[in-house]
Structure 1
Amino acid sequence: MEFGDNNMANYGIVDGDSGDGNNRNNVVVGDHVRGSNSLRSNTWSQGFDITDEHDNCPLANNCGEIASARATISDQPQYDATAYAEDKMRRKLRFFFMNPIEKWQARRRFPYKFVVQVIKIILVTIQLCLFAHSNYMHVNYTWDNRIAFSHLFLKGWDATQEVPAYPPATGPLALYKQDDFYSTIDYALKGYYNLSDAIGPYSYTNDDNSIGRVDLCLYHYKEGTIFGFNQSYVFNSEIEKTCIKINHTMMMLTNVKTKNLLINKNITINFSALVKAHLKFSIKTVNLKAAGPMTPPDCYEFDIVIIMDNSDFDGQMLLSLEAEPKRLQCNDTTYITDNQIFSALRTILNIFVIIICGISLVLCSRAIINAQKLKIETIKFFKKTYNKNLSFDGRLEFLNMWYITIIINDIFIIIGSAMKEQIEKKYFESDHWNLCSIFLGTGNLLVWFGVLRYLGFFKTYNVVILTLKKAAPKVVRFLMCAILIYAGFTFCGWLILGPYHIKFRSLATTSECLFALINGDELFATFSITSFKSPLLWWYSRIYLYSFISLYIYVVLSLFVSVIMDAYDTIKVYYRDGFPKNDLQTFISLCTDEASSGVFRQDTQTIKNSPNFSELLNKLCCCRKRPYGSFSQSSDSSSTASKSDEICGSAICI
């Protein structure tokens, strides 16, 4: 008695009675239950075919068993093939939905994606810390220089306007007279021409440090004449731009004022039509504070624009200053350091981050593609085997949102790392600092958020994720109703209280104010700031605020918390009584094999051999292809067993 496959070693063997005439051995192979894949009892003899007549049987009982076996043997291959296919698909799905630890126990599959994610989270966090330090120094330096420029070039600038406050302690910096307009330009020009008096290390943009170019641009309507005494006007809404270059030599030597300069150039400013005016010039400087063991000093060029905004035409021309920084390549004539080594290390770090994120992107994309292939295979299996379609919930099991999140953060970090490298090489300007911060910050947020996937493998830490997942549909439906009510209060407050309340001046600030009220912020301040110019609106504002606060704090928020708590209680019940299962999970749950049982390793060998359905059927029906020929008594027994093994393959040959 020989076995062609080690997988069948657990089958029960029952030897029949042996006769001494023809040496007939009747052997019955017992049922072996393993999942749903079992080979049914097959009975056949070594010397005679199962189709022998009853009169050739020396024992009547044995012939009766042969007759009953002949009636059922034709149905067994089809049944066993279906059971084998079910068991194979069930274990395949069971392995697919295992966590990395179970996959290692099942097939010794190394958790590549997990290791890549661990390496990635370390590298991107180091990269983010380095870039955050550089970005903070860059933004803080440019802001401080903007304050310095405001003191140097803006007439009437005060220290109280340096720190934004809410509500503001002072009004906006503005011009109210025509002479103030001209004197403001003269003040800025004087500060620019006497740049050497500044404490900061500022220089002009020309290579010989000569005074650079100053442009004055006027934006005005093509026609805009107002006759207020008889309520008439002449107006053309087309905006024209007029720019002049101011010669500093003539201004300094002849002491010519801006007003006279414009008159000499035949330019007359009609303030009734003047929309805004820009005074533009540039300054270079070096940031020595940035110098350190890892970074050299940074060289900057600031494009300064003094803005006089009269677009509201309300008699108040707002005055402001903008300074756009540009990083330049420094010559480093006297600065000696090993910054090239550290610059190379930063470049290597950026390259490593891009490579590891690229690997993560490929692995997760491959996992999603394989999941969709398995989904298609499962759908076909359910249709063919059970003549039913896989449910929508079952199909969603193959869509892993964690992988999609990882792919998104990989793309963000790759783009951000490439931009960071260009910024450090000083190829990009200031706008790209903010854009790079958004990509790296959002990518890092999603990277740390993705760690929850691995914490979800543990029962204790998975409660939060399951609660959010369970409550998500109810929360969305609840928020749709709450947002509609919130939108109504927002538009109403903006329209009615906007002209009389600083927190309701725009739609955005109105929404922000109401959201702060929901959280209990500045309740009394919101009530007290309301203007008493209109008693009717003052009383209406009280009713409005009391209604909103009472509704959202005591009703909406309480209901929102109850929705979350209901989902949490449901999850606790699921942990106690079991989670509900869809058709796919019910199908997989019939596979009770442990990950460390070794069954999945045998499936690995089957996958490597890639047997098709016809080969499987041949193995199951091997017993019907019994070789015919003479069998010797004892001397040829070993050769007979060897020949039987060759023909039967992995089936049981006796």
Structure 2
Amino acid sequence: MEDSKQLLAARSEESQRNGCCGLDTKTVEDFRRRLKYFFMNPCEKYRARGRKPWKLTIQILKIAITTIQLVSFGLSNEMMVTFKDENLMTFRNLFLKGYKDHRHGSLSLYTKRDVNEHIHYIINRYTNLQNLTVGNLAYELINGDYTPLTLCQVFYRNSTIDPENDTFDIDPHIDKDCISIHPMQSLSNDTLATLLSVNIYLTLKTINLQTVRHHELPDCYDFHIVIVFDNRAHSGKIKVDIENDVRIYECSDWNVEGTSGKNDYLLLSFDSVVFLACFASLILCIRSVVHGIQLQFEFSIFFSAYYNKTVSWSDRMEFVNGWYILIIVSDIMTITGSVLKIGIQTKFLTNYDVCSILLGTATMLVWVGVIRYLSFFKKYNILILTLRAALPNVFRFCVCAAIIYLGYCFCGWIVLGPYHDKHHQKDKEPVSQLQAFIAECIDQPESGRYQNTDESTCCMFSSGCFG
């Protein structure tokens, strides 16, 4: 703002002609030169004043280190997600009777006997878990006692349903009755009439040992499992599925032979380098944005004082570099994600999903920011200017396409949605009569029975053969 005061002080005392003042040529040229320098790219600034392009250097460094950080965390996150999914599939195969790996959707039961047998099956599998599983699953132990299996029935309170006489009396309030693993009682007929769901709660513990191969300390897991018998539709079909809530924490006592923790220190040091680089980039970009805003005010005062003109909003926004705003957002997300990643590696935090979103989005923005540096080359700059000019029209096209698509989705949802299950077989693909007939042949290709096949055997089915 000091420069703007100097501009005003240098104003000539000559009379104003045609809305224009007498100008101090040197002062105006100096200000014009400042504006031109401000809008130069880093290469031009280096040639003009020998100013080293620190922001450009840091951005190039960030592209490398943030990508390496993302890949490192992605591998760790992939192991965690795979471990959770494989354990969930293990629980379904252990506790759901008749469940197959290829089955899509939830298992369904249709008779009271099946419901009771399935509940007894779950309890039996749970009590014999150590003799069944090939994994390192164990029961939860609290104060020297194993956590019991809990069975809860959720049903309408004081309700009667009589389909025969077309009458019902339902209290919408819901009661929950829980019993321990023993004694086990069968569900009564009246209970099933108003039953909403049967929930079986159990807790298992395990350790993710596959991280040792990637030089990471294993995590301990608590799986809080809920087996749900869903009867809310009261359609005669009870859906059975497993819901799983996972708690990840640091194991209380651990020892891995041959490890010194060197890899952990290297990862933490690398994350610290990423943090410092992004923090330096953040400070430099914020300083540039603030400088641009100050220069914008000076330019507005200059135009108002010497030309009696108001600077348009579009001209004002020329001083705010959108790429710097993009870099600032990226740096904030990277810094936050790096802090979460350090917390995850030191076992203080388990926010894998939040950390993935932050690091992934930040890396994407860093790579998008590379486009700015491509604009320094003439041919790339022409392409970027073309994209910038076409962007509003592309956005309008996307809006129109989205409106048409949403209209089609709502129409398809109401017209075809209710019949979706009738047109798809979940358990197997449809088989034609020809495929079914051929499938009855059990001879293998190497059996040798295909070498002397009589090609005219079809004559026995043709009336022409008997003429």
Instruction: Give the TM-score range, shorter chain.
Output: 0.7 to 0.9
Q: Quote the Cα distance in structure 1 between the aligned partners of 2:195 and 2:349.
A: 35
TM-score normalised per structure 1: 0.58
Q: Does 1:240 align with 2:175?
A: yes
Structure 1 equivalent of residue 89 of structure 2: 147
Structure 2 equivalent of residue 177 of structure 1: 111
Specify whether residues 258 and 103 from structure 1 end up closer, same or farther in structure 2 by C-alpha distance, changes over 3 A only. Answer: farther
Q: Does 1:308 align with 2:212?
A: no
Structure 1 equivalent of residue 450 of structure 2: none
Structure 2 equivalent of residue 586 of structure 1: none
The alignment covers a number of residue pairs equal to 408
Q: Does 1:134 align with 2:37?
A: no
Structure 1 equivalent of residue 277 of structure 2: 356
SS in 1 for 2:202: strand
Residue-by-residue CA offset, 1:357-380 (whole Å, 9 max, x unaligned): 222222212211111111111111
Match of residue 63, structure 2, among 101, 121, 139: 121
Structure 1 equivalent of residue 150 of structure 2: 215
Q: Quote the Cα distance in structure 2 between the aligned partners of 1:410 and 1:130.
A: 18
Match of residue 369, structure 2, among 442, 450, 455: 450
Match of residue 99, structure 2, among 157, 164, 181: 157
Structure 2 equivalent of residue 90 of structure 1: 32
Query: Is the CA contact (8 Å cut-off) linking 1:303 and 1:324 kept in structure 2?
Result: yes
Structure 1 equivalent of residue 10 of structure 2: none
Q: Does 1:370 align with 2:291?
A: yes
Q: Does 1:200 align with 2:142?
A: no
SS in 1 for 2:244: strand
Specify whether residues 375 and 229 from structure 1 end up closer, same or farther in structure 2 by C-alpha distance, changes over 3 A only. Answer: same
Structure 2 equivalent of residue 474 of structure 1: 393
SS in 2 for 1:276: strand
**Aligned residue type for 2:160:** T
Q: Quote the Cα distance in structure 2 between the aligned partners of 1:105 and 1:302.
A: 62
Structure 2 equivalent of residue 284 of structure 1: 205
Specify whether residues 315 and 462 from structure 1 end up closer, same or farther in structure 2 by C-alpha distance, changes over 3 A only. Answer: farther
**Aligned residue type for 1:239:** I
Q: Find the structure with the greater CA-based Rg.
A: 1
Specify whether residues 224 and 411 from structure 1 end up closer, same or farther in structure 2 by C-alpha distance, changes over 3 A only. Answer: farther
Residue-by-residue CA offset, 1:54-75 (whole Å, 9 max, x unaligned): xxxxxxxxxxxxxxxxxxx989
Q: Does 1:102 align with 2:44?
A: yes
Residue-by-residue CA offset, 1:474-494 (whole Å, 9 max, x unaligned): 223333333333332222222
Q: Quote the Cα distance in structure 1 between the aligned partners of 2:43 and 2:306.
A: 32
Residue-by-residue CA offset, 1:121-168 (whole Å, 9 max, x unaligned): 22211111111111111111111111111111111211222xxxxxx5
SS in 2 for 1:136: helix
Query: Is the CA contact (8 Å cut-off) linking 1:291 and 1:298 kept in structure 2?
Result: no
Q: Quote the Cα distance in structure 1 between the aligned partners of 2:256 and 2:400.
A: 63
Q: Quote the Cα distance in structure 2 between the aligned partners of 1:504 and 1:89.
A: 73
Q: Quote the Cα distance in structure 2 between the aligned partners of 1:154 and 1:224.
A: 30
Q: Quote the Cα distance in structure 2 between the aligned partners of 1:74 and 1:442.
A: 58
SS in 2 for 1:364: helix
Specify whether residues 99 and 330 from structure 1 end up closer, same or farther in structure 2 by C-alpha distance, changes over 3 A only. Answer: same
**Aligned residue type for 1:101:** C
Q: Quote the Cα distance in structure 2 between the aligned partners of 1:239 and 1:293.
A: 49
Q: Within 5 A, what are the aligned runs for 1:266-277?
A: 270-277=191-198
Q: Within 5 A, what are the aligned runs for 1:540-619?
A: none
Structure 1 equivalent of residue 352 of structure 2: 433
Q: Quote the Cα distance in structure 2 between the aligned partners of 1:106 and 1:454.
A: 18
SS in 2 for 1:395: helix
Structure 2 equivalent of residue 492 of structure 1: 411
**Aligned residue type for 1:115:** T
Q: Quote the Cα distance in structure 2 between the aligned partners of 1:150 and 1:190.
A: 14
* Offset at residue 80 of structure 1 (A): 7.7
Q: Within 5 A, what are the aligned runs for 1:353-432?
A: 353-429=274-350, 432=351
Residue-by-residue CA offset, 1:19-59 (whole Å, 9 max, x unaligned): xxxxxxxxxxxxxxxxxxxxxxxxxxxxxxxxxxxxxxxxx
Specify whether residues 280 and 456 from structure 1 end up closer, same or farther in structure 2 by C-alpha distance, changes over 3 A only. Answer: same
**Aligned residue type for 2:304:** K
* Offset at residue 98 of structure 1 (A): 0.4
Query: Is the CA contact (8 Å cut-off) linking 1:497 and 1:504 kept in structure 2?
Result: no
Query: Is the CA contact (8 Å cut-off) linking 1:309 and 1:319 kept in structure 2?
Result: yes
Query: Is the CA contact (8 Å cut-off) linking 1:204 and 1:210 kept in structure 2?
Result: no
SS in 1 for 2:378: coil
* Offset at residue 468 of structure 1 (A): 2.3
**Aligned residue type for 1:312:** A
Q: Does 1:229 align with 2:164?
A: yes
Q: Quote the Cα distance in structure 1 between the aligned partners of 2:43 and 2:74.
A: 35
* Offset at residue 428 of structure 1 (A): 2.9
Query: Is the CA contact (8 Å cut-off) linking 1:213 and 1:245 kept in structure 2?
Result: yes
Specify whether residues 334 and 218 from structure 1 end up closer, same or farther in structure 2 by C-alpha distance, changes over 3 A only. Answer: same
Residue-by-residue CA offset, 1:517-542 (whole Å, 9 max, x unaligned): xxxxxxxxxxxxxxxxxxxxxxxxxx
Q: Quote the Cα distance in structure 1 between the aligned partners of 2:185 and 2:67.
A: 54
Q: Quote the Cα distance in structure 2 between the aligned partners of 1:172 and 1:74.
A: 88
Q: Quote the Cα distance in structure 2 between the aligned partners of 1:439 and 1:503.
A: 41
RMSD (Å), alpha carbons: 2.8
Specify whether residues 203 and 484 from structure 1 end up closer, same or farther in structure 2 by C-alpha distance, changes over 3 A only. Answer: closer
* Offset at residue 188 of structure 1 (A): 1.4
Query: Is the CA contact (8 Å cut-off) linking 1:305 and 1:321 kept in structure 2?
Result: yes
* Offset at residue 454 of structure 1 (A): 0.8
Say which is worse superposed, 97-106 or 413-422, in terms of deviation.
413-422
Q: Quote the Cα distance in structure 2 between the aligned partners of 1:207 and 1:488.
A: 55
Q: Quote the Cα distance in structure 2 between the aligned partners of 1:185 and 1:502.
A: 28
Q: Quote the Cα distance in structure 2 between the aligned partners of 1:74 and 1:347.
A: 67
Q: Quote the Cα distance in structure 1 between the aligned partners of 2:127 and 2:98.
A: 19
Structure 2 equivalent of residue 190 of structure 1: 124
Residue-by-residue CA offset, 1:361-417 (whole Å, 9 max, x unaligned): 222122111111111111111111111112232122112211111111112112211
Q: Quote the Cα distance in structure 2 between the aligned partners of 1:462 and 1:242.
A: 70
Matched-pair identity in %: 38
Residue-by-residue CA offset, 1:305-355 (whole Å, 9 max, x unaligned): 112222222222211112333223235555223352221222222222222
Structure 2 equivalent of residue 590 of structure 1: none
Q: Quote the Cα distance in structure 1 between the aligned partners of 2:92 and 2:400.
A: 48
TM-score normalised per structure 2: 0.80
* Offset at residue 270 of structure 1 (A): 2.2
Query: Is the CA contact (8 Å cut-off) linking 2:21 and 2:307 kept in structure 1?
Result: no
Q: Quote the Cα distance in structure 1 between the aligned partners of 2:266 and 2:142.
A: 33
Query: Is the CA contact (8 Å cut-off) linking 1:295 and 1:339 kept in structure 2?
Result: no
Query: Is the CA contact (8 Å cut-off) linking 1:308 and 1:319 kept in structure 2?
Result: yes
Match of residue 320, structure 1, among 221, 241, 250: 241
* Offset at residue 502 of structure 1 (A): 5.2
Specify whether residues 465 and 278 from structure 1 end up closer, same or farther in structure 2 by C-alpha distance, changes over 3 A only. Answer: farther
